[in-house]
A and B are shown apart, each in its own frame.
Chain A
């Protein structure tokens, strides 16, 4: 009898697990059909619903709302919606005057900018003044603040920023001055062609000195200890929680453009949960990470975006003081061309990513005739297994090696792990004698290993902080804090330097120099091996209109968003 008990038990477990697993199967079909009738609403956009409420999710908590020390996407995203700088990215992702009243006056040498401020108020009714900018900029660069993004964004751009950030000069010497209450003068260290897009970045937002000083350590610790000057105000944020709201800011100078009354945000870290919340109708948008992109790939509510973020392999040429096999340019080239990027993007990632045969992403920067930077250089280091095999053999011969074992350091997300497993397989299949050992670690650990140059190959990604090819290209000059792989090419350095200095005022020549530098980096040296340009798929309810996704700075703007057709 006991025997039958066990059989009964086992079969029940099997049936149960299979049942539970299989039942999940057929269900994503109906989400697609359900929505077709709702789709009608989009066409009648313009008839706004009486309830203007948007329900969103974030993937992480807000680490800080202090614009001077913020360094993460969540904070910059919210800052972009509750605060405002001199400029703001518009619906076309072009930097347009925001708090600045019209375009600034620029001196002949391109080193002095004079901004006139428009009449705008903080959420407590006090006016935003030029002093507020001086205060926050100085605060961001002050070593006592310990801001990472202050020095990063200002060094080499704003006059004296580098010296102040290293503690050798007083913060009052920073090249920013309030001429009067509504006039701000900024002095630069060198001409910066993309300066306007910088002014849309969170680090350059103003802060009300009286308020910040009064709150002291408590400043920005929760939504009550903050002032806002943007389209929304942040409320119901307790500083450590997983939930907050954004409410329309009546004091905002352009309040009439803002349609949404409330945005409810919750932090959901589990991708499966965020999709379930979206399907239950509780949330209006859900980012489809990893496997979910594949799962919902053909759903009608999916919105695909191409981001200007590029992922690539960093080849470390010198590990722990000793040269690695990657010192050999043929070996680097072989590895860079030995994996099928198209399959990777289409099958493994399946989230709208593009195979990358470039460093500066496509659809990101344009010259004065609106021509994409990509059209200048075209594709480099394309997948070519045959060629790669030849280069590999040649490289091995030059180094006198028959077998090479390399460590591939990568991220610990599902997507990253899958990609690395794919790369390992591709490289080992196409390059005989190569063994790739994978090492997946959290981002914080990868940063440290990177810093110590303790890796062979690393999958790394970069998203821009301003709209210029330079944000990608100058990563690899000799001694850059991102070039922790002992790559050095004099000609490359020179080109970057000239684009930054003497060519700064000559857009065409500068463009040319940067394109040439990219060519050296990839085609000649294969210092890095581009993998893909990231795409992102998200589910978005059809009644949501006008959420703008930005390529840099704050990720989204809700200023122009509205709800129509939900009711």
Chain B
């Protein structure tokens, strides 16, 4: 601004071309057409936290499947003579950490040497001599499975329920909302516990219990969005042009509601993982010998002073997953929220 322009430099002739006004060009959109997803991707790429989380989460997922395979031990295989060994990783052990040294009777000893163990357990072993490395990744797999399936079911029911309720409105909406009100009135904790007790304990029971009231949150959000958009002009226009309900829902409402649905799902997944961990604490978790991050943490936390590795690895992994999901969720919210568009 402070720079003064003394004189306009002379421009070579031929730099300019005279154009005539063309009515056809007036409405031309110069910016390339960007689809919903492209736009979202473009913006999430700018959010380094979310991007990093996506990569991190991708790695965790890969390890969840690869971990149990690359470990020489099956997640449930017991070698009772190798019980409660601390972690030992070949190269890193030279640094004085993860070198198989643990306390026994108040003294620091190399437990591997003492118990004559030739092999290495990267994450150590638990009380039954099971390899924690393969158990932790298997547990991650199970936790993620529970969370994803629960979130998917929540999404499905929630979207359909909320969509119908919001779109048709009136009495249908009134009735459907009363039902939701009742369901949200029962603390979900109680519902989950009761359903787990009724069903045969296991992964399926936990998923069903988590979803039995879990979808109400999603349905509320979807209903709110549908209510908001259905009275807007573009829907009215579509209706006037004779579009069917199905077409309006799929072509006009859904794309607008999609962002909210995805964000909501992103936050259901970590809370499902968390709830599963909570269930393990009160003794209603998975059936042994299956493990999830929740049951592993629950097993480990009693041993925190004696064999901290049993708690540390699943706890760190759980924290990482939670952090990743929350950051991805935050990032997606920013990316998909139309208000944030510049």
Bind each other: yes
B287-A418 in contact (CB<8A): no
**Which size class do A's interface residues fall under?**
35 or more
Binds B, one of A251-259, A290-298, A373-381, A558-566: A290-298
A17-B48 in contact (CB<8A): no
Q: Is A442 an interface residue (CB 8 A)?
A: yes
In-complex Cβ contact of B288 among A32, A272, A420 (8 A): A420
CA distance in complex: A333, B198 (Å) = 34
User: Which A residues from 422 to 457 make CB contacts under 8 A with B?
Assistant: 422, 424-425, 438-442, 445
Give the residues in chain A near B136, CB-CB below 8 Å. Answer: none
Binds B, one of A8-16, A121-129, A518-526: A8-16
User: Which B residues from 294 to 310 make CB contacts under 8 A with A?
Assistant: 299, 301-306, 308-309
CA distance in complex: A425, B128 (Å) = 10
Cβ-closest chain A residue relative to B53: A6
Q: Is A471 an interface residue (CB 8 A)?
A: no
Q: Is B170 an interface residue (CB 8 A)?
A: no
A25-B103 in contact (CB<8A): yes
Contacts A272-B301, A291-B306, A414-B302 known; A347 to B287 CB distance under 8 Å?
no
Contacts A6-B48, A9-B323, A348-B80 known; A439 to B287 CB distance under 8 Å?
yes
Q: Is B127 an interface residue (CB 8 A)?
A: yes
Q: Is B255 an interface residue (CB 8 A)?
A: no
Q: Is B72 an interface residue (CB 8 A)?
A: no
Cβ-closest chain A residue relative to B281: A270
Say whether chain A's binding surface is mostly helix, strand, loop, or mixed: helix
In-complex Cβ contact of B304 among A2, A21, A298, A441 (8 A): A21
Binary flags per residue of B105-120, CB closer than 8 Å to A gives 1, else 0? 1110000000000000
CA distance in complex: A271, B309 (Å) = 19
CA distance in complex: A483, B279 (Å) = 33
Cβ-closest chain A residue relative to B126: A418
B128-A421 in contact (CB<8A): yes
Cβ-closest chain A residue relative to B319: A13
Q: Is A550 an interface residue (CB 8 A)?
A: no
Q: Is A18 an interface residue (CB 8 A)?
A: yes
Give the residues in chain A near B289, CB-CB below 8 Å. Answer: 421, 424-425, 438
Contacts A348-B127, A425-B289 known; A24 to B52 CB distance under 8 Å?
no
CA distance in complex: A22, B312 (Å) = 8
Complex A-B: 19 CB contacts under 8 Å: A2-B49, A6-B53, A7-B52, A10-B323, A17-B315, A17-B319, A25-B305, A25-B306, A28-B103, A32-B105, A272-B301, A272-B302, A292-B302, A294-B127, A298-B105, A348-B128, A414-B302, A425-B76, A440-B288
Binding site for A on B (CB under 8 A): 47-49, 52-53, 56, 76-78, 80-81, 83-84, 103, 105-107, 127-129, 197, 200-201, 283, 287-289, 299, 301-306, 308-309, 311-312, 315-316, 319-320, 323, 327
Q: Which 10 A-B pairs have the closest CB atoms?
A: A29-B106, A295-B306, A2-B48, A21-B312, A21-B308, A421-B289, A3-B48, A24-B305, A291-B302, A421-B288
